[in-house]
Amino acid sequence: MAKKELILGGGCFWCTEAVFELLKGVSDVESGYANGHTLNPTYRDICAGETGHAEVIKITYDDTIITTDTLLDIFFVVHNPTTLNQQGADRGTQYRSTILYTDQETKEAAEAALEAAQNDYTDPIVTTIEPLDKYYPAEAYHQDYYRQNSMQGYCMAVIPPKLAKLKMKFGKEMV
């Protein structure tokens, strides 16, 4: 197994975690906070919108089964990369669209994926591609949130449409 990690921010981490943890080749998805200025932030800190952190997911995957390029293509399908600091009703810099890299290979893959994804959108993509500075895992109650709270109203409204987009674009063989 060629184990790799990819950190993405596409709005609420509950919603993106729910999509990526279903994919073949993905062994773990962890919700967390990245690239802010507050040490050891809490969810309450993040929700105030003043820490500079983004809600992100850290995807651990086997790139012999699912590639970085495929994960990035999925990322650009299952969230709206054209809305600045917003996904649906979630607003604030913590919900920004971002790809965080730790090496040149991931940075180049992210740039290529963004350029290719722009063809699917009429508005400009505002996703940032930036080096990972700091990453903190979110509190335990945020991990596997959808699996544990699938009947929660927010989850029921937001996550099934993302899963439908995934299946429509990439087919059932991905999950």
* Active-site pick, 12, 15, 47, 155: 12
15 is a catalytic site residue: no
Between the alpha carbon of residue 166 and those of residues 34, 37, 46, 130, the distances in Å are 25, 33, 28, 25
For CA atoms 119, 123, 127, 129, the dihedral sign is positive
Cβ count near 171 (within 10 Å) = 9
CA distance 101 to 108: 9
Residues taking part in catalysis: 12
